[in-house]
Amino acid sequence: MELLTITTEIHEASKRLSNSADALFRLGREKAEAERDYRSMLAQEMLRLKADGMAATLIVDIAKGNVAEYLFKRDFAEATFKAGIEAADAIKVQVSALQTILKYQTDI
């Protein structure tokens, strides 16, 4: 590989890494918001079921079933956030590999 090609690839990977930091911030916020929404809806549903006279032993399970869409959104946001972290880690590995190649090229 040519030095210019390697440095260009490092620069491009660095830009992607910077963009991934912005994306991770957004994904982290979405994850937190989804968690907040789920917990809020679950609490409201549990109170509604209690007010309707449902047996206390059933309230948690029934409430979770009734707000399953919010649970899905929460879990999806968490999985997306973790995937974003893994993608950023992959870019870091790529930059590290390119830096190693660059070091060997300059030493030669």
Query: Quick one: average pLDDT of 13-17?
Result: 91
Residue that has been written with the tokens 């907040």 in this structure: 36
Mean pLDDT score, 9-26? 92
Secondary structure element (H or E) that encloses residue 3, with its range: helix 3-51
Q: Which residues lie closer than 8 Å to 9 by C-beta, 6 or more apart?
A: 98
pLDDT tens-digit readout, 61-97: 999 999 999 999 999 999 999 999 999 999 999 999 9
Q: Residues 21-66: pLDDT tens digits?
A: 999 999 999 999 999 999 999 999 999 999 999 999 999 999 999 9
Write out the two tokens for 7.
């440095």
* Domains of the chain in sequence order: 3-107 (1.10.287)
Which residues touch 28 (CB under 8 Å, ≥6 apart)? 81
Contact of 12 with 104, CB cutoff 8 Å? no
Residue 1 above 70 pLDDT?
A: no
